[in-house]
Amino acid sequence: MALEPYGFKRELSSVALPEEAATPRTEARLPRYFFDLHGGDELLIDHEGIVLPHSDAATSAALLQARDILAGDIRGGSLALNLWLAVRNEAGAIVHELSFQDAVEIRWPHEKTGVARLG
């Protein structure tokens, strides 16, 4: 599977970030976070990153980015749940990992009645 078709890093600016993530901090320089896309033996490294106020905002941004990629997959007729994002800080330390399986809730039809069962 090639990661390039995923259009990863379609610019996180095109993804609506949580309101607190967009609120600038003025007392210090804001940190930059990098969102690396992993899939099987492949890795798409984010060399640009985005500036966010804190690691919680980076965690929220990772969830939104994963859901955006999944939505694009679905529009294309497939769904790749074997991908994950690793969020790195400027020092290169991984501050968060998100499996695409954990980015969405999957509801399966109930085997006997055909009625969807939640959770």
Written as tens digits, the pLDDT of the chain (119 aa) is: 445 555 454 444 444 555 555 555 555 789 999 999 999 889 999 999 999 999 999 999 999 999 999 999 999 999 999 999 999 999 999 999 999 999 999 888 875 655 555 55
Strands, DSSP E only, in 20-114? Answer: 32-39, 42-44, 50-51, 83-88, 94-99
Dist CA 95 CA 10 (whole Å)? 21
CA distances to 14, 34, 38, 107 from 20, in Å = 16, 18, 27, 30
Strands 83-88 and 42-44: unpaired
Question: What pLDDT does residue 118 have?
Answer: 58
Question: What pLDDT does residue 2 have?
Answer: 46
Question: What pLDDT does residue 88 have?
Answer: 97
Dist CA 66 CA 101 (whole Å)? 10
pTM: 0.71
Dist CA 41 CA 38 (whole Å)? 8
Every domain of the chain and the residues it spans = 29-119
Dist CA 21 CA 3 (whole Å)? 27
